[in-house]
Amino acid sequence: MKKLIIISFLFFLPCFVFSQENLLELREQLAKTTDDSLRAEISNTIAKYYYNNGQPDSAKIFYQKFLSIAEQRNDLSQKVRAHVSIGSACLYIPLPDSAEWHFQKVLEMGEAQDGTLFKKMMCIALVNLGINYGINRGRATEELDYYLKGLKKAKEYSFSEMATDVLWRISNVYLDQGNYGMAMENARAGLAEAEKYGDKGEIIEMKRLIGIIIGEKESTPEELKEGIRSLQECLDYYISENLRVNQSYLHFDLAGIYGKSHQPDSALYHAEKGYELSKKVQIGHAEVNAEVVYAKALIGVGKYKEAIRVLHDAEETYRSYPLISSKATIHDLLAKAYAGMGDYKNAYSHARDLEAAMDSSYTALNDEKILALQTQFETEKKEQENIFLKNKNEMVTFRSRLYGVIGLLLIASILAVAFFYYKLRIKNRQLEKLNASKNRLFATLAHDLKGPAMSFNNLTKKINYLIKKGDPEQLLELGEYFERSGNRVNRVLSNLLDWAVSQKDQFVNNPENIDIAAISENIINDLKYFSEPKKIKINNGIKKEHIAYCDENAFSIIIRNLLHNAIKYSFPDNQINLRSYKKGNNIAIEIQDYGVGMDGRLIKKILRGDAVNSTRGTGDEKGNALGLQTCTKLIECNNGKLCIESKEGEGTKFTVAFEQN
């Protein structure tokens, strides 16, 4: 469900509708007139024309003229209107920094002035600041914070209509986060506000939102009935108002909730109606969604051939409006439809296409499901062979039956051999992987420990010589070198021990609520021996109130390795940012460096937990590449999630998320 994204001055100004010829006349009049009051109104009117016709860049130019005239005349009411209008245009362009500046100016003016106009402008500015953070900056926490401030002001000044709109937006933020309880609470509060001033359109919007929330969450049968009643009332209203686009969306909403209520016939009816309407009104990219919803309903009632036809139409529509999620959904439904018909060959083909279409945010079908579908296809193939043999046995003599039995036994033997061969291949791959790890471990020991060991041997001889010679200055220099070598050996042994512990299947994990701020501070201090020679500053933004549910030793190993990796590949005289924030029900820890970065292929290997080849750092530091492999294993053991964003030459951002207890 979508409403106007931006609350603007249209709350309190009438909408001017005029033609292109009127626009040219107004622009000529603006160029000729010297009356500031008239010039201000003409500039505002022209700007509104561009704004309402989807040209925010042009609108911004004339709103700025409107503001300039208002400042010359020191007309505060026109100035505050102009700032709101320019900010609204900047949201659409988008220019998030400019938008925020203008809305902050509105808040300053509103605090300094009195009157209904300034109060309303403050409410609008707060809500639009929330939209700016949500739409243009992708920061849901700040978005929600500004919405709540706007709601508080709207209730304080008794702006029920505005309070309804803000509650609608707050509910949608919680809905996107999967917090259905808070989404429903705010939606019902918005409905109560709308009923106060009796705006039927707003009441319908809030009832539709309530129906959508019920359809998305785990609902009881009684709740589903309430959702169906709410959505049906909305549909009746849109029909009475002849709002055909809205009717199309409502049919899709009803199709979804009927499907969840196990009423496939009703789901199919509404999906078909929405599909027909979307074709008539030509709502662009929504046609893909229409075809997908219709096909899903057809699959629900077993009409697989018709579903396949509609999905192939959706593939054609997708070419005009490409969205990765739409493409993946189409392949997912095609795989289900072909599987329902027993055509596992085509089902498997589309399952593979789905795998190729999926990105990190889309997990409609995992590898395990694809493997199961492939096995089902192979099993079906063997079953068809067995049926053929059985029919043949019934028509031939005892000898033919005997041959058939022998044939079945032979097939069974082949299948058994194939099964054991398959298991053997899996075991061989595991052994190869273990052998590679073993070889890598011995190579690391030979390479990383042999050099320092020989250095220590030579150093002891030289120290004895210098002691006898009585040369303290050279002894001090050797002491610093001795310390660096010791740190390197300590780092190698630490990595090897961490790696060895993480490889054990019996790894003991003791998750508990841990103080990540204190642990992180200790790790930063421990790594100063490594960061200070390169003059790298580590900015610690871990918040003390953030508590993660994780094994303390595992957390220390993970953060230490990631920070060490960031220092290693950062350029001298640079900085590393470490911060924490809430991400849904998790606590996320982010480590951002601005060093050499890495390519996508290497990122995939790290996330899979594969062994990677170590490269030298920006200060020619050596490594053994065990640290990141250890991290992925320990993150998995603690039910955490690892995300890597990187660009070669610009740096890398590691984000680790852990649950909260």
DSSP string, 23-49: HHHHHHHHHH---HHHHHHHHHHHHHH
Are the C-beta atoms of 540 and 559 separated by less than 8 Å?
no
Tell me the two tokens of residue 361: 């945010």
Domain layout of the chain by residue ranges: 396-507, 512-659
Residue 570: pLDDT above 90? yes
Residue 529: pLDDT above 90? no
Smallest CA-to-CA distance from 50 within 26, 80, 83 is with 26
Q: Which CATH fold would you assign to the domain 512-659?
A: Heat Shock Protein 90 (3.30.565)
C-alpha distances in Å from residue 494, one per residue of 66, 310, 445, 457: 66, 59, 12, 22
Residue 167: pLDDT above 70? yes
> In this structure, how many other beta carbons lie within 10 angstroms of the beta carbon of residue 8?
20
Amino acid at 498: D
Question: For residue 450, what are the contacts with CB-CB under 8 A and spacing of at least 6?
Answer: none
On the 0-12 / 13-18 / 19+ scale of CB atoms within 10 A, 194 is buried
Q: What is the Cα Rg of the chain in Å?
A: 33
What is the pLDDT confidence band of residue 210, given thresholds at 50, 70 and 90? very high
Residue 265: pLDDT above 70? yes
What is the pLDDT confidence band of residue 338, given thresholds at 50, 70 and 90? confident
Which ranges in 132-179 belong to alpha helices (H)?
A: 140-156, 160-177
User: For residue range 180-200, what is the model confidence (pLDDT) as tens digits?
Assistant: 999 999 999 999 988 888 788
How many residues does the structure list for the chain? 661
The residue that leads in pLDDT, 523 or 6, is 523
User: For residue range 534-566, what is the model confidence (pLDDT) as tens digits?
Assistant: 999 999 999 999 999 998 888 988 999 999 999
C-alpha distances in Å from residue 162, one per residue of 120, 147, 187: 9, 11, 14
Amino acid at 252: F
Residue 387: pLDDT above 70? no
Mean confidence (pLDDT) of the chain: 80
**Mean pLDDT score, 328-344:** 83
Q: Give the three-state DSSP class for 506.
A: coil
Are the C-beta atoms of 187 and 206 separated by less than 8 Å?
yes
Q: Sheet holding 651-659: strands in order across?
A: 537-541, 575-583, 586-593, 651-659, 641-647
- Of 106-110, 167-171, 480-484, 571-575, minimum mean pLDDT range: 480-484
**SS3 sequence of 364-395:** CCCHHHHHHHHHHHHHHHHHHHHHHHHHHHHH
Q: What is the pLDDT of residue 50?
A: 85
Question: For residue 179, what are the contacts with CB-CB under 8 A and spacing of at least 6?
Answer: none
CA 295 from centre of chain:
26
Q: What is the pLDDT of residue 625?
A: 65
